[in-house]
Amino acid sequence: KNEVEQSPQNLTAQEGEFITINCSYSVGISALHWLQQHPGGGIVSLFMLSSGKKKHGRLIATINIQEKHSSLHITASHPRDSAVYICAVRNYGGSQGNLIFGKGTKLSVKP
Amino acid sequence: SAVISQKPSRDICQRGTSLTIQCQVDSQVTMMFWYRQQPGQSLTLIATANQGSEATYESGFVIDKFPISRPNLTFSTLTVSNMSPEDSSIYLCSVRGGWETQYFGPGTRLLVL
């Protein structure tokens, strides 16, 4: 079993829909990251969470430390949101650089 | 924040050859990280590059296959040596910022024929 699991693996939505991507992890963490990867391969950090909830524009990220679960929500989705969304955690006691990554959720938003 | 550039952005190489990927950061950083993302897979840490010392490799990665240089606090290179088709991946450079933040380069997409 992977230490970081994301669901769904693939998601197709119509423009304007509310989208939720889930991430569950099985290790103790100091932080959780939500990342966005576009087709060219580059990765942009969207959020870094250690507790609670963060909002940036149409994106909302929440984390429940007790349940070891995080969600990324996109409101009023748009075709430009189409990308792979990756959840990554920094493990307590892990090597300083090492994030543990989920396999990603591929989102496609149709106009 | 940190802005990271990588060269080349993509390349197609023949098996048995080597490719050196460059990573440049717009600020001085202690640790730089090299990741590999094989098709359909999650990112995997190859090694951590510290300025002035040998890189630290993760399990499954060795210096002979992935030699790394770190000549100063803003630059690093990763070489993929004696390439095979299994090395076809996206290679990403990354640095840590302030507490827990992390920044990634645009990636180098490598195809080995």
pLDDT digit string (tens) for chain A, length 111 residues: 689 999 999 999 999 999 999 999 998 888 999 999 988 778 999 999 999 999 999 999 999 999 999 999 999 999 999 999 999 998 876 555 578 999 999 999 999
What is the least distance, in Å, from the CA of B3 to any CA of chain A?
A: 11
pLDDT at B63 over 60: yes
Q: Are A47 and A54 in contact (CB under 8 A)?
A: yes
- pLDDT tens across B73-83, in order? 999 999 999 99
Per-residue confidence band for B54, with pLDDT thresholds at 50, 70 and 90:
confident
Taking residues B18-33, report their average pLDDT. Answer: 94
Cα A32 to chain center, whole Å? 9
Q: Which residues of A touch B48 (CB under 8 A)?
A: 95-97
Residue from the list A45, A102, A103 with its beta carbon closest to the beta carbon of B103: A45
Task: Give a three-class secondary structure readout of chain B.
Answer: CCCEEEECCEEEECCCCCEEEEEEECCCCCEEEEEEECCCCCCEEEEEEECCCCCEECCCCCCCCCCEEEEECCEEEEEECCCCHHHCEEEEEEEECCCCCEEECCCEEEEEC
Give pLDDT, residue B53.
83
CB pairs under 8 A between A and B: 63
